[in-house]
Amino acid sequence: MMSAMTTTWDAADFDAFERSGWKGRGEAYASGFARLTAHTVEPLLDAAGVTAASAVLDVGTGPGVVAAAALARGAQVTAVDASPEMAALAAAACPGAAVHTAILPELPFPDHSFDAVVGNFVINHLGDAQAGLAELQRVLRPGGRIALTCWEREAMRATAVFGEAVTAVGIPQPDDLPSSGPFLAGSDDRTASFRELLADAGFTGAQARRESWTHRVDPDAWWSAVVSGTPLTGSLIARQPEAVTAEIKRHYDALVAPYAGEATGTVALPAVALLATGRKEPRHPLSTDEVLDIVDAEDNVIGQATRGEATARRLRHRCVFILARDADDRIFVHRRTPEKLVFPSMHDMFVGGVVGAGEGYDEAAKREAEEELGVSGLSPVPLFRFLYESPEHTWWSAVYEAGATTAVAPQVEEVAWHAFLTEAELADRLTEWEWVPDGLDAWHRLNAWRTGRPTAD
């Protein structure tokens, strides 16, 4: 998807230019160009699954537009920007966020700090996008999501008209200014290349799509916003003699004239961005070779065996069942994949799995719920335990309940289909669908436990 690179600037030189180029432009960017970038804020947060209680990192926050929108969703927001000026603007606009001055690819946070990472038009400002993505993956928790935006260049008429106006005047490219950044330089298909960039960085399920809208603005105000509020185009135009600047402006006016808006004195400029998303691989689930504790009828450990052996020989082991509810108190219901070792392609109203050797029930419940739902930060609440037995299987079962109030990204190896159902909807489907027998047993016991009725063992 990539042809030869079209920029001669290396990563270090480009990053140095970016650091210096933004000095003194914060206020102008916030009052002008940030209006254009605001369109992708909500799609960006949706793609990252940001909801109430999500721990979110907004990287390259600028004046804090994304951070403010994440706070409005009830998220716990941390925001960073390489520019102290931008960081100060963001801190003033977002008093509920923790704002830092920090530069990719060196962020001042421990591994696995955030449920979601978002960056609105920041990846294209990095000299080394791969290094930046590696750092973002480091601070993202297993199962967490990343969402990033960049511009679609030529299709992005709202900014392309400036470069075309400069070219029309015949201004040579100065040696101390890059013609463009190295991000996706030479790409024949930027959508595919953006997706591949995330996939190559190790993000699973990487996707990229176009976001298109119309930027309605006074053309003179837009000229001022770009010239005073952006480092590349702004620096090039601002350094020209007055007569040359006036000639560039005349070409700009001619280029935007066909986009005259319905309102007097405005233009409707096409804007096109790319939105790329991916997910950090969850911790690897237990395999058939994983060693389990074998227990007796009183749940005392009496030995160990692999998961495959325990299943084949009907050796009693331990399992956890977690009933996950969303913010509307609906229950996460799913159909298991055909590849599952036990009960393939059946429906289940619990997430969960086996308890590893030496692992506690509580630890296993948190691990299994987070892996299967593709979220982090869960705190399953223990309810009761029971011994499940059938002619083929036997295991001690610990039942939990957990609130899954953030957007879920179910593990594709475990979940073939899922939905959140009310208890009434679930009850209607108990006789319609084929359910895993241990989960169905746990469901009936849970309902009896709630009403204080005894359960038969």
pLDDT digits (tens, 9 = 90+) for 332-390: 999 987 777 788 889 999 999 999 999 999 999 999 999 999 888 899 999 999 999 99
- 145 and 253 in a single domain? The answer is yes
Say how far apart CA 326 and CA 331 lie, in whole Å: 7
8 A C-beta contact, residue 33 and residue 53 = no
Dump pLDDT digits (tens) for 232-276: 787 888 889 999 999 999 999 999 999 997 777 899 999 999 999
Considering the domain architecture, whether residues 144 and 46 belong to the same structural domain is answered as yes
Alpha-carbon gap, residue 18 to 12, rounded angstroms: 10
When pLDDT is averaged across residues 22-46 and rounded to a whole number, the result is 87
Are residue 275 and residue 319 in the same domain, yes or no? no
Cα–Cα nearest to 216, from 257, 248, 263: 263
Of the residues 231, 257, 280, the one at which a domain ends: 280
Q: Quote the distance between the C-alpha of residue 160 and its chain's center.
A: 29
Q: Is residue 6 part of a domain?
A: no
Check whether residue 267 and residue 295 sit in a common domain: no
Domain annotation covers residue 134: yes
Using the CB atoms, write b or e for 442-455: b if 16+ within 10 Å: bbebbeebeeeeee
Residue 212 confidence (pLDDT) = 94
DSSP string computed for 279-302: EEPPPPPP-TTSEEEEE-TTS-EE
Residue among 329, 342, 346 nearest 417 (CA)? 346
The pLDDT value given to residue 222: 92
**Cα–Cα distance, 127 to 117 (Å, whole number):** 19
Q: Could you tell me the end-to-end alpha-carbon distance of the chain, in angstroms, rounded to an integer? A: 61
80 assigned to some structural domain: yes
Residue 443 sits in the same domain as residue 340: yes
What per-residue confidence (pLDDT) applies to 2? 36
In the predicted model, what is the mean pLDDT of residues 120-130? 87
- The predicted pLDDT at position 8 comes to 46
Query: Do 95 and 187 sit in the same domain of this protein?
Result: yes
Q: Report how far residue 455's alpha carbon sits from residue 445's, in angstroms, rounded to the nearest whole number.
A: 6
pLDDT over threshold 70, residue 20: no
In a domain, 213, yes or no: yes
- Check whether 398 has a pLDDT greater than 90: yes
pLDDT tens across 99-120, in order?
Answer: 999 988 889 998 888 889 999 9
Enter the DSSP assignment of 4. S
Asked if 84 and 110 touch (Cβ cutoff 8 Å), the reply is no
Q: Is the pLDDT of residue 195 over 60?
A: yes
Q: Structural domain of residue 381, as residue ranges?
A: 291-451
pLDDT: which is higher, 154 or 74: 74
Torsional sign, CA 383, 366, 439, 373: positive
Confidence of residue 182 (pLDDT cuts 50, 70, 90): low
Q: What is the pLDDT of residue 283?
A: 57
Does 3 reside within a domain?
A: no
Q: Give the length of the chain.
A: 457
The pLDDT of residue 10:
67
Residues 262 and 377 in one domain: no
Average pLDDT, the chain: 88
Residues 106, 147 within the same domain: yes
| pTM for this prediction | 0.64
pLDDT at 21: 67
What single DSSP character describes residue 182?
S
To the nearest 10°, the Cα dihedral for 97, 325, 138, 92? -10
Q: How confident is the model at residue 180 (pLDDT cuts 50, 70, 90)?
A: low
Residue 9: pLDDT over 60 = no
Q: Is 286 part of any domain?
A: no
Q: Average pLDDT in the 287-293 region? A: 85
Domain-terminating residue out of 280, 311, 331: 280
> Is residue 49 pLDDT above 50, yes or no?
yes
Angle at Cα 133 formed by Cα 31 and Cα 97, nearest 5°? 45
Domain-embedded: residue 443: yes
In this model, does residue 181 exceed pLDDT 80? Answer: no
Mention every residue, 6+ apart, whose C-beta is less than 8 A from residue 239: 174
CATH number at residue 22: 3.40.50.150
Q: What is the C-alpha to C-alpha distance for residues 286 and 16, in angstroms, rounded to an integer?
A: 46
Torsion angle in degrees (nearest 10) through CA of 314, 396, 402, 408: -10
Beta strands in 121-241 (DSSP E): 140-151, 203-217
pLDDT of residue 1: 40
What pLDDT shows up at residue 284? 52
87 and 217 assigned to the same domain: yes
- CA–CA separation, 112 and 105 (whole Å): 15
- Of the candidates 12, 25, 19, the residue with the CA atom closest to the CA atom of residue 238: 25
Q: Which pLDDT belongs to residue 206?
A: 92
Query: What letter does residue 143 receive in the DSSP assignment?
Result: E
State how beta strands 98-101 and 76-81 pair: parallel
Quote the number of domains for the chain. Answer: 2
Residue bearing the bigger pLDDT, 98 or 115? 98
The letter for the amino acid at 85 is E
Task: Give backbone dihedrals phi and psi of 57, rounded to 5 degrees, phi first.
Answer: -110, 120
Instruction: Say whether 310 sits in a helix, a strand or coil.
Output: helix
CA gap 155, 1 in Å, rounded: 18
Confidence bin at 451 (pLDDT 50/70/90): confident
Q: CA nearest 156: which of 270, 253, 41, 39?
A: 270
Same domain, 97 and 235: yes
pLDDT for res 53: 65
Of 451, 311, 326, 322, the residue nearest 392 (C-alpha): 311
Asked whether residue 457 is assigned to any structural domain, the reply reads no
CB atoms within 10 A of CB 386: 20
DSSP calls for 89-132:
HHHHH-TTSEEEE-BTTB-SS-TT-EEEEEEES-GGG-S-HHHH
Same domain, residue pair 297 and 214: no
| pLDDT reading at 455 higher than 70 | no
Residue 186 has pLDDT above 80, yes or no: no
Q: What is the mean pLDDT of residues 168-196?
A: 80
pLDDT at 6: 40
**The pLDDT value given to residue 292:** 96
User: Which CATH number does the domain housing residue 412 bear?
Assistant: 3.90.79.10
Same-domain status, 332 and 241? no
Among 259, 280, 301, the domain boundary falls at: 280
Amino acid at 76: Q
